[in-house]
Structure 1
Amino acid sequence: MQEQIERIIVYVQTVFEESGSHGFDHTLRVTRLCEGLGEDEGADMRVVLPAALLHDIGRPLEEKQGIAHEKAGAVIAEEFLRSIGYDKTLIPKITHAIRTHRYRSENRPGTLEAMVLSDADKLDAMGAIGIARTFMQAGERNRTMTDATDHIHEKLLKLKGMMYTRGARGMAEKRHTVLNKYLQAFEAELSH
């Protein structure tokens, strides 16, 4: 499996040539979170690791063509995993995790592995890293600092209550505190 994971990493790196709020560094952080959460929860890492590495593989299509990245990503991931001879019985579980990882997805995770990926992706949107990513994304879209803090209020503060796994709930609690402290400081400075 390690050789196939290496091939997946190389493939994902070629897709995310540029850094950004959803770049390769985000993928690596989500994968590390999945490793810890997945092992703690007893998830099948043969599903979790490829799903984590490939979870945003459809982002470039979403940005260019408006196709939901979780749906496009599941199709791309399936084709790629088949091309490298990945275990055929695991591919539907991997694509399910990819299809259901997104905050706004109409589909909910139906397996432990999908829950781990969903939690890890949400955790990377919280805390200090989440704040940095939010401002990075605002810059990428030519938005203001106020737009970024609106995003924190409208989305990021809701994530704490959306965790599936025990370990993620504990991490989310800490990251949620960071979000609140940041907003208090930002809003205090803005008002003076």
Structure 2
Amino acid sequence: MSSHDEGHVERVMKLAEFIARREGADLEVVLTAARLHDIARDAENHAVESAKKAREILKGRDYKFVSSVVHAIEAHSFSSGIEPRTLEAKVLSDADKLDAMGAIGVARAFLYSGERGRSIHDTLKHFEEKLLRLKDQLYTDTAREIAEDRHRFLELFYARIKRELDEF
């Protein structure tokens, strides 16, 4: 079990498909990018390395299609620093962020912390630095709608765990 396992990829694909259909994005580009977005997850800059691997996997396909998929993968990561320039890249970025929110986001945050040997306090710092800021970094209206409830859950969970840690 990993915070970035096949379940994560499947959830991102479902979210990306839903958003793409509502926003009018190219479904083939979005689904291909979602399937391949974390194939180099262990690399230092996994988004850029996953994009390189995707380019190799898709070699021989239409240049525009491959370029669109590669850009979406490069730009999907919160920490890559690459701004999504296309609707398809924005959809993938949003879908990946949404999977880091809500109850699944909480579970994944603690899974990731367990994988890295982080404490509860370190995990809460991750909430402050990243998770609680995600809703303000979404690009599509559809993702912003989905994020409302998920963000509210993050806020409630964060407040509750902070309160329990400070109780006695």
Question: TM-score, normalized by length of structure 2?
Answer: 0.96
Q: Please name the residue that 1:47 is paired with.
A: 29
Deviations 1:138-173 (A, max 9, x none): 100111111111111111111111110001011111
Q: Please name the residue that 2:38 is paired with.
A: 56
Structure 2 residues not aligned, in runs of 5+? none
* Structure 2 residue 51 is the aligned partner of structure 1 residue 74: yes
C-alpha deviation, 1:105, in angstroms: 1.8
Superposed CA RMSD in Å reads: 1.0
Matches within 5 A, 1:100-115: 100-115=75-90
Residue of 102, 105, 125 corresponding to 1:127: 102
CA distance in 1, matches of 2:154, 2:64: 40
Q: Please name the residue that 1:24 is paired with.
A: 6
Whose RCO is larger (CA < 8 A, sep 6+)?
A: 2
CA distance in 1, matches of 2:133, 2:23: 23
CA distance in 2, matches of 1:86, 1:136: 37
Structure 1 residues not aligned, in runs of 5+? 1-18
- Structure 1 residue ranges (4+ consecutive) displaced by more than 4 angstroms after TM superposition: none
Deviations 1:99-149 (A, max 9, x none): 000101221000000000000000001111110000001100111111111
Question: TM-score, normalized by length of structure 1?
Answer: 0.84
